Every structure is written in C-alpha cells, then in structure tokens.
A and B are shown apart, each in its own frame.
Chain A
Amino acid sequence: MKNKALPISIIIFLVFCFVIFLKGLNNTNNYIPDETLGKKISSFTAINFFNEKETKSDELFAGKNFYLLNIWASWCLPCRNEHKILMKLSQNNSIKIIGLNYKDNLDNAKEFINDLGNPYFEILRDENGTISIDLGAYGVPETFVIDNNKIILKKFVGPLNNQSLEEIKKLIK
C-alpha cells in the first residue's frame, strides 16, 4: 500500500455512513411535522353544526380558557374509540372542546353524537376538508391543544388515549 490517504479517507467516509444509518434506524418513520407548534391557530370561518350559522373561529377561541380542537367524523373508526376520552375531558372546567366535523354526512354525524354523547362546547363543519388543510392537519382524528392566546401548544395525530389525556391535563394546569 503506497498511498495511504485513499484507503484511510474511504474508511473514515464509510464509518461516517455507518453511524448515520445506525442513527437513522432509530428515528421514527412516521413523520409528524410540527410546523404549527407555537404559532397562532389560523382563523377560519365555518358553518355551525346545529344551527347552520356561519361562525368565526376567532370568536370561539376568544375566552380565557384552554381549548381543544378535535377533528372527527362519523365514518372514522378511531374517532369512536377516542370519544370516551373526550367525554372525560369535557368535565374539566379549564378546557373547552371544539369539534370540527370533517367531510361528513350531517345525519350520520348527528347520530354519532346522539349515540356517544356530546363533549363539544361547539361543533363546526368542514365539508370539503379545506379548513383542516388550513390548520395544517392530515385528517381524522386529529386534536390541537390551544391556549388562551390562540397559540397551538400540542397536536395529536391519531386517536387520543389515556397517555394523551394525561399530557393534556398537564398542559392545561
């Protein structure tokens, strides 16, 4: 081996690649972008679920409470599963739960609420899914935790469970 520079630099390069790949394996593969964390929730206007009136989101999030924005649909199975968590949370006085009904049939959605209970302080409708896009959501179910300054504290993609319930409780203390 006359020239030692080449083999040594190749070996260093390979070790570098090895380490990167090893670390890459440990990263989760389901990427949940948190671009919206820490930012104010976008304003939107939507039709009220029960009274068909146009409602501005800014008015809903105006108070001194913490808010939960929960995106749900009657055709979404995991939404059924997380509903009892929402019912539990609705008894907490420091947080108000706002529902966003996503791409749903109104009758089916009303039946869903009748069957499983209404934890929502107010429900709005996102008929074609564009409001959810404006919020930076992927689909259903998805839940945003919002403080009294309309800042997004945390986002849960997928159904809530007991663990997320504990996290939410900690955030709203």
Chain B
Amino acid sequence: MFISQLGFYSLIIGLIFSIIFLPVAYRDLFVNNNLISSNVFSILFFKLFFVLVSFICLIISFVNSDFSNETVYNNSHTTKPLFYKISGTWGNHEGSLLLCLLILVFFIFIFLITSRKEQKKYRIITLLFQEIIIIGFFLFLLITSNPFNHLFPSPKEGLGLNPILQDPILAIHPPILYLGYIGSSIILSSSIAAIIQNQVNNQWAKNLKIWVIISWIFLTIGIVLGSIWAYYELGWGGFWFWDPVENISLMPWLCLTALVHSVIVLEKRSLFATWTLVLSISSFTFSMCGTFLVRSGILNSVHTFANDPSRGIFILFFLFFLIFISLIVFFFFYKEKKIKQKNFLFSKETSILINNWFMMYFLSVVLIGTVYPIFLEVITNEKISVGAPFYSKLFIPFLIPFLFLMSIGPKMAWIRQNVKLFNIKIILLFLLSIFLSYLILFKTEQRTLFVSVLVIFSIYLFFTTIRDFFIKNQINFSQKISHFGFSLLILSIIMNGIFSREVITNIEVGEKHEFNNGTIYFKNINTFKKKNYTSIVGIFKIKENDNEEIYLEPELRIFNQPLIVTSEADIKTNFIADKFLVMNLVKGNDYYNIKYQTKPFMIWIWLSAILMCVGALINFFKRK
C-alpha cells in the first residue's frame, strides 16, 4: 500500500515539474545564448525520474499482488505466472497510459540531449509544445485513469487477467506500439517549432527524418507483432481482420510511410515543405484519434478496454485542443517559401508525390471505413457494419497501379530522369511475370480479372526489386532492402490469400475424416492439470497427398479465474506453408469441431515485414 502511495505521489511530483517547466523554459527563450539552461535539463531529468519511479511502483504492486490497488485488483490474480504479472502492468487501461506517459517523458529527454546541434529557440519551442502534451497525459491519468486508486477493505484475490492476454508476444506488442505512437508526438512538436521559427527547410527535414524513421520502425514492428499474436493465439488462422483497433494503428502507419518519403524530398530538394508539415501534424493526430476511438467505448471491437464515457470526453477535448493549436500555428505563422527551382515531371520528386497520393487514398479508405458507422448512427440512427469486403474492394483495384508505379518510381533520378527506363530487359521481366502468374493461377478457381492482374504486378514488382540489387541505379541500399521487403510482403499476402485451404468438420476420438487431399485421424485425447488451467490436448495425425504424416496437437485450456475456455491452435511452420489445426468444444456433445488449414507463405509475411524494418534501420545507422 505504501508502494501505491509512493507511485501516486511521484506522479503528482512529476506533474508539478511539468507545470514548473513551462515558465522556466519560456523564460529561457529570451536568454541570448545558444545553450539551454541547466534548469531545463534538470526539470526534465527529475520529471523522468519520478514518472519512472511511479511506473516501477505499479509493477511492484502487480508483482506483490497488492489488491488494495484497484488496477491490480481488476487485472491480476495470485496464480498468474510472474512474467504475466509484470506484463499485466501495461495490459490494462491505466497501466498502459502510465507507460505512454513514461515513454513521453523519456522521449522529450532524448530530444533534449540529441538536439544539441540545433538552434536553441527551435529546441525550446519543441520542448514546450511537447510538455503541453505531457501535461495533458498527466491530467488524463490523474483525473480519469488513476493507476493507484485505493480499495478499502483490500480484497484477498484479484479478478484475474484475461488468459488470452497471457502471451509473450502480447506482452511486448503494446510497449513497442506505444513507442511508435509517442515518437510521432515529437514529430508534431518539432513541426510546430519549425513553423514558428520559420525553419521549415531541408536542415529541419534532416533532423526530423531520424524521428520519423524511429517511429515508423516501432510502429511497423508493433503492428506485425499484433498480427503474429492474432495468428498464433486467436485460433482463426487470420492475421488481419480490419478490426477498428487494427485500423487505428494502420492510419498513423500510412501517414508515417508517406512522411518518410516526403521528408526525403524536403531534405534533398527543399520541396513539399507544406505537405510534409501536414503529414507531420496528421501522424500524431491519427495516433491520438485512435486512442480516442478505442478507449472511449465509441467503437465495438475485440480489443476495447472498459468503456468509460468520461475518459472519452477528456480525450476528445484534448485531441481537438491539439488539432486547433496546430491549425492556429499553421495558419498564422507559416510562410510558404517560394523556391525557384526547375521541376520536371519525370523525376523522383514526382514519383514520391504519386506515392503519397496513393498512401493518402489508402488512408482515407481505412479512416472512412472505421469512423463512418459512428457518423451514420449519430445522424440517422441506423447502424451498419463495415468489414473486410469493403476494404478489399477499395484497396485491390488501386493496389494494381500502385505496384506498377512502385517498380519504376524509385528508380527515377532526382530533378530529372533522362535515361530511358524502359528497355528490353524490363519488357522481358514483365512478360516473365505474366507467364508465371498464368502458371500459378492456372489450377485455382480464383482467376478473376482483378486477381490475375494483381498477381502479375506483384510478381513483376518482386522481380524488379530483386534485380535492383544487381544493377547500379538511383536507389540506395537501405531503400532497396525496404522496397524488396515490401514487395515480398505484398506477394506473400496475395499468395497466401489465394492458396489457403481449409477443412472444417466435427470429429470424435478414434474417428478418421477424409477430405480432398488427405485424411485426418483423431488419435487420442490427453488431459493435464496446469498451474492455473486444465489442459485438454487432442492428438491428430494428418496425411496429405504424398507428404509425410504430421502430428498436430491443438489444445483447449479451461481457466478457473475468470472462467474462460480458450483454444490454442497447433501450427507447424516451414518456409513453404503453415499447417494449422484448431479444436473447439461443441457444447453438450462428445465430439469436437476442428478446423484444419493450410496457409502458404505465412512465415514470409512476417519475415518480409521485418526486412522492411531492417532497411529502415540501415538508413538510421548510416547517418550516425
């Protein structure tokens, strides 16, 4: 209990430091030197210290199962394994917000230390604006989401963490995602400062780019981890459901991807300054908008935390407050510089412009699909669902030209592309792609026009990006890797979508089920008692075509606190395909319902996403 109080008062002290920071930093603006005062440094340092103390206190409370703390009571249990007690700290609303706050105060400190070479006023304004965001989070925590609420009398046992959340991947997925979201807050603050200081130029772009890449990498890894977790844990064999919470992580990602490209143009050619600003402001806006949509209860999703309208109202006001301030600064202070340069149509700048155009289109599809039902319900009281079919129909037709353009765009030179891009080798590659996709699609039923053309272009892009490794052209190495990763990602997803197969049936122990390509034999069932659940493991022998027999052992877990039954799929992975088997109880019967899936190229989806990040990392270390 003392720990909870320590945690709570540390937060209060942190808030006080934040508030003191404002006048201190503001006064330092007018001190005519190029060094930020040591007071500023100290305040930021101590603020970081106290928030860290607070966070550690919460972890300790969880580890000690201190149920006098309401958050611990709601989200933990004495029988939880230690690792999940710790990760349970941020697996709930209050704890995750405290983690976000910690990352915020950490990043502002990092910004202070790493921006020494930049102009003082620019740095201070960035810090000031960032501090406003931090104060907003402090207030949100302390007013609506206090992680240190006291329960009296203190309960003897907690309400338990959802067993679905007891997973190693899920333990690290939120922190990494938050690193991505919060990173984009620095981008926003930095943009505001640059506008006020009239420094929206290539030098600023060079510094901003580092933060953009960092945020982008974390966000990408965070999203991929979430998909991996969904695939392995949720038992449905899918990895993306167009669930609102997935969509709200995709929106800042699309924004940041567009920003990565436009900030390069600003850095190298001093163009697209205004547009880069718009993207910079939008990235964090989308992150905050996402926080609002998910934590206020306004949307219905697998991921929603507990609904609480008062939290929603606070975030809503905070979000629009940030937007309005950004807009006011933008419209009152920003002077667009007219740069006298020669611009040519066939150039890398134009390619990036087109890339951004498509990114914004995809972003609008996700945004509209996610928030439209809210608007419709408020205005007309009608409720509709927007699911996967909507997104597929609007994405796929536009993905085709996008893939094609991506095979020529990155190759273009800055300023002006003189050399002919089309030669006999390219045409041969293209013909090869058509031939290959014909071979691939020949035996499948999915030979619709869209799918065929999509496959052609994704194979062509794939070949193009591989070929880029062997020829000297305008693309640097990190770019080659990232783009290759992207083309592999698209190709894997498409192939996976076309060639996935599944068999669903009810089956009893000892029974054999025959399907198109083989048999499933339900050999046996074993029951084990584990620490906080009972485990029922089914042993299945599967023989497909001429392949070797494989054994798959899906599991049912019956938890006691809370009373939940979860289904753990057994997955055998190799580089060609995943074999996926999941088993479910059919209530009141002795047979089980099983779903056996063959999912080709799954591992390439994960590897290619990681490859994209590797490319970005290479770029990041290059400038160090």
A→B interface (CB under 8 Å): 1, 7, 10-11, 14, 18, 20-27, 29, 31, 33, 103, 105
Closest CB of chain A to B27's CB: distance in Å?
A: 30
Q: How many angstroms between the C-alpha atoms of A117 and B427 in the bound complex?
A: 81
Q: Are B327 and A105 in contact (CB under 8 A)?
A: no
Q: Are B374 and A20 in contact (CB under 8 A)?
A: yes
Closest CB of chain A to B531's CB: distance in Å?
A: 27
Q: Are B378 and A27 in contact (CB under 8 A)?
A: yes
Q: Counting CB contacts under 8 A, is B375 at the interface?
A: yes
- Give the number of chain B interface residues (Cβ < 8 Å): 24
Count contacts between A and B, CB distance < 8 Å: 48
Q: Are B331 and A1 in contact (CB under 8 A)?
A: yes
Return chain B residues, CB-CB under 8 Å to A24.
Answer: 298, 374-375, 377-378
Q: Counting CB contacts under 8 A, is B313 at the interface?
A: yes
A-B contact pairs, 5 of them (CB 8 A): A7-B331, A20-B374, A22-B316, A24-B298, A29-B307
Closest CB of chain B to A138's CB: distance in Å?
A: 14
Return chain B residues, CB-CB under 8 Å to A10.
Answer: 327
User: In the complex, which of the residues A7, A23, A25, A29 has the most CB atoms of chain B within 10 Å of its own CB atom?
Assistant: A25
Q: Counting CB contacts under 8 A, is B292 at the interface?
A: yes
Q: Are A25 and B383 in contact (CB under 8 A)?
A: no
Question: Digit string of B298-323 for contact with A (CB within 8 Å is 1, else 0)?
Answer: 10100000010100110010001001
Q: Counting CB contacts under 8 A, is B152 at the interface?
A: no
Q: Which of these, A22, A33, A105, contacts B588 with CB under 8 Å? A: A105
Q: Which of these, B292, B327, B332, contacts A21 with CB under 8 Å? A: B292
Q: Which of these, A7, A18, A21, contacts B298 with CB under 8 Å? A: A21
Q: Are A21 and B374 in contact (CB under 8 A)?
A: yes
Q: Which of these, B323, B324, B377, B587, contacts A27 with CB under 8 Å? A: B377
Return chain B residues, CB-CB under 8 Å to A23.
Answer: 378
Q: Are A20 and B588 in contact (CB under 8 A)?
A: no
Q: Which residue of B lies closest to A4 (CB)?
A: B331
Q: Are B298 and A29 in contact (CB under 8 A)?
A: yes
Q: How many angstroms between the C-alpha atoms of A31 and B374 in the bound complex?
A: 12
Q: Are B378 and A31 in contact (CB under 8 A)?
A: no
Q: Which residue of A lies closest to B299 (CB)?
A: A29
Q: How many angstroms between the C-alpha atoms of A26 and B324 in the bound complex?
A: 23
Q: Counting CB contacts under 8 A, is B296 at the interface?
A: yes
Q: Which residue of B lies closest to A6 (CB)?
A: B331
Q: Are B383 and A31 in contact (CB under 8 A)?
A: yes
Q: How many angstroms between the C-alpha atoms of A42 and B332 in the bound complex?
A: 64
Q: Counting CB contacts under 8 A, is B297 at the interface?
A: yes
Q: Counting CB contacts under 8 A, is B379 at the interface?
A: yes
Q: Which residue of B lies closest to A27 (CB)?
A: B377
Q: How many angstroms between the C-alpha atoms of A3 and B331 in the bound complex?
A: 10
Closest CB of chain B to A164's CB: distance in Å?
A: 22
Q: Which residue of B lies closest to A16 (CB)?
A: B375
Question: Digit string of B586-601 for contact with A (CB within 8 Å is 1, else 0)?
Answer: 0110000000000000
Q: How many angstroms between the C-alpha atoms of A23 and B332 in the bound complex?
A: 31
Return chain B residues, CB-CB under 8 Å to A31.
Answer: 300, 383
Return chain A residues, CB-CB under 8 Å to B296.
Answer: 25
Return chain A residues, CB-CB under 8 Å to B331.
Answer: 1, 7
Question: Digit string of B360-387 for contact with A (CB within 8 Å is 1, else 0)?
Answer: 0000000000000011011100010000
Closest CB of chain A to B327's CB: distance in Å?
A: 7
With A10-B327, A24-B375, A29-B300 given, name 19 new contacts (CB 8 A). A7-B327, A14-B320, A20-B374, A20-B379, A21-B292, A21-B298, A21-B316, A22-B313, A24-B298, A24-B374, A24-B378, A25-B312, A25-B313, A27-B377, A29-B297, A31-B300, A31-B383, A33-B383, A103-B588
Q: How many angstroms between the C-alpha atoms of A116 and B316 in the bound complex?
A: 49
Q: Are B320 and A25 in contact (CB under 8 A)?
A: no
Closest CB of chain A to B260's CB: distance in Å?
A: 25
Return chain B residues, CB-CB under 8 Å to A25.
Answer: 296-298, 309, 312-313, 316
Q: Which residue of A lies closest to B300 (CB)?
A: A29
With A1-B332, A11-B327 as given contacts, are A18 and B588 in contact (CB-CB < 8 Å)? no
Q: Are A103 and B316 in contact (CB under 8 A)?
A: no
Q: Are B587 and A103 in contact (CB under 8 A)?
A: yes
Q: Give the top 4 A-B pairs by smallest Cβ distance, nearest first.
A: A25-B312, A24-B374, A23-B378, A7-B331
Q: How many angstroms between the C-alpha atoms of A18 and B298 in the bound complex?
A: 13
Q: Which residue of A lies closest to B298 (CB)?
A: A24
With A1-B331, A14-B323 as given contacts, are A20 and B300 in contact (CB-CB < 8 Å)? no
Return chain A residues, CB-CB under 8 Å to B377.
Answer: 24, 27
